[in-house]
Amino acid sequence: MASFWDHIAALPDSGAVVIAGRRWGTPQLRELALRASADLAGRGVQPGDMVGCLLPNSVEFVVLWWACAHRGARFHPVNIGLRGDTLAFILGAAHPAVVVGAADLAHLAAAAGADPGRVVTAKGWLESLPAPTSAAASGPGGQVIFTSGTTGRPKGVVWPASTQRGHTVAYSREMVVLDPAEAAYACLPLFHVTAQGTTMATLSHGATIHLDNGFPVRTLWHRIAETGAVTFPFVGSILSVLLKDDRPAPAHRCRTVFGAASPAHAWEAMWQRYGVRLVETYGQTEMGGTWLMNLDGRPGSVGAPCERIDVRLVPVGGSPEGSGELQVRPREPGYVMSGYLDPEQTEAAHTADGWYRTRDLLARRSDGYYRFVGRTADAIRRRGENVSAWEVEQAFLAHPDVVEAAAIGVPSDLAEEDIALYYVLRPDSELTAHDLRRWSAGRLGAFMRPRYYVALDALPKTPTQRVLKSSLRGRPVGR
């Protein structure tokens, strides 16, 4: 399989990236990447070295990403929301030879233990780049992406260059299919593989990708309209927020949205409300360019496996009947991670016969499609039963006034755990905890109903819009 840089070099010249109103054509980005590759070489970066990236969605991010591919260095995009011990842990595990950071972030790398002499401030960096290198691409390349660490220490997922390319190719065939004159939009961060896939797939078609920093809650549809985007990715609670916003959307050209963890009711609602078709997927950073995908509108399902993997369900003690841990094995190399930075974590994540353990519970439906049941690490033990936090959350998200919901287990006076529900309401809602208790009575078994209800202005999240449940644990829940 050709390298990731080979794919970049072959991108159509008609493609472009638009950030903060400025358009960067693919040829211009390639030339900057070649100059940045020469800059990395001048800073002593060797093929195979790690290069850290502490940048928001920006032209500097794209240039550094592509420069690493040409230099054969391993690109290491870092979550820009990290601080303190977690950032220090990640940089310590990765040992980047150089870190390029935004002006307001570069100092964080040094404070977290990076050599200050190896930290480059992005402001003015592009203007200072040397002439393009004439050397051919060399070295193994690839990238290392750390998991979000919502349930434990982040793990460094290693993608060889073949997986970077395989991810791009698969995205452009199945997720983002455009004509050269069309555009896509993404507000997810580029250090997240969904935004990377959307960007590279768009450019692979010679089309234009518009990138924003952060989810513009009140203006997303206006951004979709003004950019002319025909598709965009979602994650987390984005759909719930959109569907509970009563304001009319402007006329737009969007035809599909794709992503994970969409409520079952969102399928029909997105079509009726916005005229947009929903595509549900299931994947993990570890799975690279492989996934389960629901292309034909079967609500409540994450779909069927793509042709690049085999899957199996392995029963887990206490899991709901008919469900099991999803385990995945690639049918061909070049599409999934090669492992974690930590070999012990790699071994723990795979079975003796080579299947990757997702640690997620799924069930196979009668139509051959799969539905998500919950996470093995996110189960609550209550009254002798294992409760899926995800199923509890979905019951409350079906309420028209509930925008966000997170269920966690809290210590119980009777041993095991009780359930606490943290939730966010629409701004004009007068819904009370008592109303929510009554709502749950008709939708959840008694052992699944929360004991505590805690209203918040917003749930704590990672920059990729995943709820950070670790920050909820230990908060007062009342009585």
With 70 as the cut, is the pLDDT of residue 1 above it? no
**Global pTM value:** 0.84
Q: Where in the chain are the domains?
A: 4-198, 212-375, 383-471
With 80 as the cut, is the pLDDT of residue 138 above it? no
Single-letter residue type at 38: A
Of the candidates 400, 83, 443, 412, the one whose C-alpha atom is nearest the C-alpha of residue 246 is 400
* % of the chain surpassing 70 pLDDT: 95
Q: State the alpha helices, DSSP H only, in 254-331.
A: 266-274
Tokens read off for 365: 């439906």
Evaluate whether the domain defined by 4-198 bears CATH number 3.40.50.12780. Answer: yes
Tokens read off for 157: 């997922």
CATH architecture of 383-471: 2-Layer Sandwich (3.30)
Q: What is the biggest distance separating any 2 CA atoms in the chain, rounded to whole angstroms?
A: 70
421 with 475: CB under 8 angstroms? no
Tens-digit pLDDT profile for residues 237-259:
688 788 888 889 999 999 999 99
Q: State the alpha helices, DSSP H only, in 146-245.
A: 161-170, 193-204, 220-227, 238-243
* Per-residue pLDDT band at 445 (split at 50, 70, 90): confident
Q: Position of tokens 């959350």?
A: 393
pLDDT, position 118: 92
CATH of 212-375, one of 3.30.70.20, 1.25.40.10, 3.10.350.10, 3.40.50.12780: 3.40.50.12780
The yes-or-no answer to whether 4-198 and 212-375 have a common fold is yes
Count H helices and E strands in the chain, helices first: 13, 25
CA distances from residue 174 to 83, 202, 469 in whole angstroms, order as listed: 36, 12, 32
With 80 as the cut, is the pLDDT of residue 404 above it? yes
* Per-residue pLDDT band at 386 (split at 50, 70, 90): low
